[in-house]
Amino acid sequence: MKKLFIDKNVKVIKGSRAKSLIISKNDSAYIQDDAILKVDRERWNDAQSYERKTWMELGLKSADDRNYEHFKRFDSFNSLKEYQKENKINKVIELGCGPFTNMRTLLSQLPNLKEIHLLDPLLNDYLKHPNCQYSTGQLDKFKTVLHAIPIEELETNEVFDLVVMINVLEHCYDITIIFEKILSIMTCGSVFVFSDVYYFENDVKKMVYEIYDAGHPIKLTFNYMNQFLSRFKKIFECELHGLYGQPWRHDKYFIGVK
């Protein structure tokens, strides 16, 4: 791995300068059981600054966050068609929706949809983005319920037929709490649409001394992720390795039924 330091203002530094910065600032203190599943609020606030800068300053002309890439990698969500032959999906939530949402790419596959919830800790910022997909309070023809909070702080008695969380966990601060929250808002038969990056355990310890990425503090590992996903009956799965020139990176695409 080549030394790389990306600060909370999305400034990218490489080489010997990055090496000296990583010595003084890295995520090694957060490693537990060969993973980084929890960081403190100060570290998470840096990640949020990175995201805010990315979309509300550098990305004001953007209208997509690889949402249609994800759509293709999920095989256009065709597995949901088979599921809905015997089950109806009326009420959905996307966790970590960003300014553009992945939900908009699913709408054509949800003929019985009645209610959409969107959650993101930066949601109130994203509403001001020129290309925000829900700035009118609607996504397509559907009125949306908005939650401007971290997933970890979601408190609700509502349950959903479909929970969507795509490319989110790296930006969060406590994965254990998030997994508990996901289970609490699902009932038997609910569907979980999930994608994120995972790493092998032996790579995490190496990475923290080679790369500091302010926007992505969490390092989810293969074993921890699969332990959680084993709670669901798989109806779709795809894995991609080494995307974007990152040989240690592994991307999981998964749809399962609780």
Q: Label the pairing between strands 138-139 and 142-147.
A: antiparallel
Model confidence at 127, pLDDT cuts 50, 70, 90, reads: very high
| Average pLDDT along the chain | 97
Instruction: Kindly report the pTM of this predicted structure.
Output: 0.96
Return the closest-CA partner of residue 162 out of 235, 100, 99, 240.
235
pLDDT tens-place string over residues 57-102: 999 999 999 999 999 999 999 999 999 999 999 999 999 999 999 9
Share above pLDDT 70 across residues of the chain, in percent, rounded to a whole number: 100
Is residue 1's pLDDT more than 80? Answer: no
Domains located in the chain, CATH noted = 43-196+223-257 (3.40.50.150)
| pLDDT grade for 17, boundaries at 50, 70 and 90 | very high
pLDDT-derived band at 2, boundaries 50, 70, 90: confident
**pLDDT for res 108:** 93
Cα–Cα distance measured from residue 129 to residue 251, given in angstroms and rounded to the nearest whole number: 28
